[in-house]
Structure 1
Amino acid sequence: MPSPSRANRSFWDADAARYHAEHATYLDGFYWCPEMLSEANAHLLGDVSTSAVLEIGCGSAPCASWLVEHGAGFVAAFDISAGMLARARRKAALTQADVLALPYRDAVFNVAFSAFGALPFVRDLDAALAEIHRVLAPGGRFVFSVTHPMRWVFPDDPASLTAEISYFQREYEERDDAGNLTYAEYHRTFGDWVRALRSSGFSLLDVLEPAWPDDLDASWGQWSPERGRVFPGTAIFVCEKPDPAALD
Structure 2
Amino acid sequence: MNQEDEVEPTPPAGSVDDDARAVRRRSGETESSRANRGWWDRNADEYQVEHGPFLGDDRFVWCPEGLDEAEAGLLGPASGLPGRDVLEIGAGAAQCSRWLAARGARPVALDLSHRQLQHALRIGAGFPLVQADAGALPFPDGAFDLACSAYGALPFVADPVRVLREVRRVLRPGGRFVFSVTHPIRWAFPDEPGPEGLSVAASYFDRTPYVEQDETGDAVYVEHHRTIGDRVRDVVAAGFRLADLVEPEWPDWNHQEWGGWSPLRGHLIPGTAIFVCDR
Aligned mate of 2:91, from 48, 58, 61: 58
Between the aligned partners of 2:216 and 2:178, the Cα distance in structure 1 is 38
Cα deviation digits, residues 46-97 of structure 1 (max 9, x gap): 122121100011011100011111221x111100000100000223211000
Which has the higher mean CA deviation after the structures are superposed, 218-227 or 86-95?
86-95
Between the aligned partners of 1:217 and 1:50, the Cα distance in structure 2 is 36
1:9 is matched with which residue? Answer: 37
Between the aligned partners of 2:53 and 2:70, the Cα distance in structure 1 is 15
> What residue ranges of structure 2 are gaps of 5+ in the alignment?
1-26
Aligned length: 240
Instruction: Give me the identity figure in percent.
Output: 52
Indicate the structure whose relative CO is greater, using CA pairs within 8 Å and at least 6 residues apart: 2
Query: Does structure 1 residue 143 correspond to structure 2 residue 178?
Result: yes
1:75 is matched with which residue? Answer: 107
Aligned mate of 2:145, from 84, 103, 110: 110
Which has the higher mean CA deviation after the structures are superposed, 214-223 or 20-29?
20-29
Aligned mate of 2:158, from 123, 131, 134: 123
SS at match of 1:128: helix
Between the aligned partners of 1:182 and 1:118, the Cα distance in structure 2 is 16
1:235 is matched with which residue? Answer: 273
Cα deviation digits, residues 129-169 of structure 1 (max 9, x gap): 11111101111001011111111111111112111021112
Between the aligned partners of 1:161 and 1:216, the Cα distance in structure 2 is 19
SS at match of 1:26: helix
Q: Is the 8 A contact 2:168 2:240 kept in 1?
A: yes
Aligned mate of 2:169, from 134, 146, 171: 134
Query: Does structure 1 residue 85 correspond to structure 2 residue 117?
Result: yes
Query: Does structure 1 residue 44 correspond to structure 2 residue 74?
Result: yes
Which has the higher mean CA deviation after the structures are superposed, 7-16 or 151-160?
151-160
Aligned mate of 1:161, from 198, 203, 213: 198
Between the aligned partners of 1:43 and 1:92, the Cα distance in structure 2 is 22
Between the aligned partners of 2:215 and 2:54, the Cα distance in structure 1 is 34
Any runs of at least 4 consecutive aligned residues in structure 1 with deviations exceeding 3 A, and if so which? none
Between the aligned partners of 2:54 and 2:111, the Cα distance in structure 1 is 18
1:207 is matched with which residue? Answer: 245
SS at match of 1:238: strand
Q: Is the 8 A contact 2:145 2:172 kept in 1?
A: yes
2:20 is matched with which residue? Answer: none
| TM-score, normalised via structure 1 length | 0.94
Q: Which amino acid aligns with 2:62?
A: W
